[in-house]
Amino acid sequence: MSEEPQRIAKYLARAGVASRREVERMIAIGQVELNGTILDTPAIKVTSADTIVVNGETIGAAEKVRFWRYYKPIGLVTTDNDEKGRNTVYDFMPDHMPRVMSVGRLDINSEGLLLLTNDGGLKRKLELPSTGWLRRYRVRVNGNPTEEMVAPLRQGIVVDRERFKGMEVRLDRQQGSNAWLTIGLREGKNREIRRAMEYVGLRVNRLIRTSYGPFKLDDLQPGEVEEMKSKTIKDQLGL
């Protein structure tokens, strides 16, 4: 059976170059070359028989969609390159790992579940607010939170003129001068949990993401990465 041609943006997203929208932007500014000619439109279909060069790098055939669970340790940033020269999660990936992208981010002082994929289109889809996946976190705060203190977080708050939707908040246990909470949210704005806790007078000193949609951290240890089986990807993502 002959290979079905694909739109170039989709093909490069599947090859792990970037999301479809980012590929279209790269084409618009002349960073993509097809069979020796600089492309000026994304309205073209390609196959693995075509030679595609992005920023001087020849791109191989699109791989099947692959997905990993990764326990991001504290102290790493979730970007390809950091302008401050800090270590990134990609600096510590196993040698056998292909080029991957993270689904969402965790800040440098947060840890826990980070999903990785080789498919830029899938990454963007799973990050969309409309996907509506619940993310759960185990959060340790300094202080003695009460139901009355955290009640506003369940209703939604405004912090620095930015609206945070209502969160799931459960008080778990007090541990000396600290307390543990479980928090669930569907947005994931910049430092949302830390800012929300500060709003009610609590300071976060540990934050661990334990789940992202149907995927869980389970028994992964800091720095460990585990590829998901094709059946799991199909069952959970319909791919």
What would the pLDDT profile of 35-64 be if each residue is shown by its tens digit?
Answer: 999 999 999 999 888 999 999 888 876 677
- pLDDT value of residue 148: 96
- pLDDT value of residue 62: 64
Q: Are residues 195 and 224 in the same domain?
A: no
Terminus-to-terminus CA distance in the chain, angstroms? 21
Q: In what order do the strands lie in the sheet with 32-34?
A: 37-38, 32-34, 52-54, 57-59
Give pTM, 2 decimals. Answer: 0.76
- pLDDT value of residue 99: 80
How long, in residues, is the chain? Answer: 239
pLDDT bracket for residue 1 (50, 70, 90): very low
Tell me, yes or no, whether 193 lies in a domain: yes
Range of the domain at 12: 6-59
Task: Please give the average per-residue pLDDT across 8-29, as a whole number.
Answer: 86
Asked which of 53-62, 102-111, 153-162, 203-212 is least confident by mean pLDDT, the reply is 53-62
pLDDT bracket for residue 6 (50, 70, 90): confident
Torsions phi, psi for 8 (to 5 deg): -60, -35
What would the pLDDT profile of 65-81 be if each residue is shown by its tens digit?
Answer: 889 999 999 999 998 77
Report the percentage of the chain scoring pLDDT > 90.
Answer: 61
Active site residues: 107
Q: Quickly count: other Cβ atoms within 10 Å of residue 237's Cβ.
A: 17
pLDDT bracket for residue 107 (50, 70, 90): very high
Q: Quickly count: other Cβ atoms within 10 Å of residue 11's Cβ.
A: 24
pLDDT bracket for residue 3 (50, 70, 90): low
CA torsion sign, 198 to 164 to 18 to 73? positive
Number of structural domains in the chain: 3
Q: Are residues 148 and 196 in the same domain?
A: yes
What would the pLDDT profile of 119-173 be if each residue is shown by its tens digit?
Answer: 877 887 888 777 778 999 999 999 999 999 999 999 999 999 999 999 999 999 9
Last residue in a domain, options 59, 77, 99: 59
- Residue 28: CATH number of its domain: 3.10.290.10
- pLDDT value of residue 10: 84
Tell me, yes or no, whether 1 lies in a domain: no
